[in-house]
């Protein structure tokens, strides 16, 4: 899972990109896009949808 997420992150920031120089707005946008991308392993739901569903079940 971690390596898959790293691969997705590399779509936005190629290897050797100094992430210390990436502004937080760019990073937040990339993370938002990653978390709102449907995943086959989640039955084509987004990670955000699954998280919110679980959150509602807990409360």
pLDDT at 5: 83
Q: Where do the structural domains in the chain lie, given as residue ranges?
A: 2-58
Instruction: Using pLDDT thresholds of 50, 70 and 90, give the confidence band for residue 4.
Output: confident
Looking at residue 59, its pLDDT comes to: 60
pLDDT the model gives residue 6: 85
Q: What is the pLDDT of residues 9-59, one digit of tens each?
A: 899 999 899 988 999 999 999 999 998 999 998 999 999 999 999 999 876
Q: What is the pTM of this model?
A: 0.72
Residues 42 and 7: their CA atoms lie apart, in Å, by 17
Cβ pair 25, 34 in contact under 8 A: no
d(CA 28, CA 22): 10
């Amino acid at each position: 899972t971690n390596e898959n997420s790293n691969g997705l992150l590399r779509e936005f920031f190629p290897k050797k990109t100094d992430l210390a120089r990436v502004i937080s707005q760019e990073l937040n946008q990339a993370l938002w896009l990653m978390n709102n991308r449907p995943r086959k392993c989640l039955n084509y739901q987004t990670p955000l949808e699954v998280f919110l569903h679980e959150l509602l079940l807990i409360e």
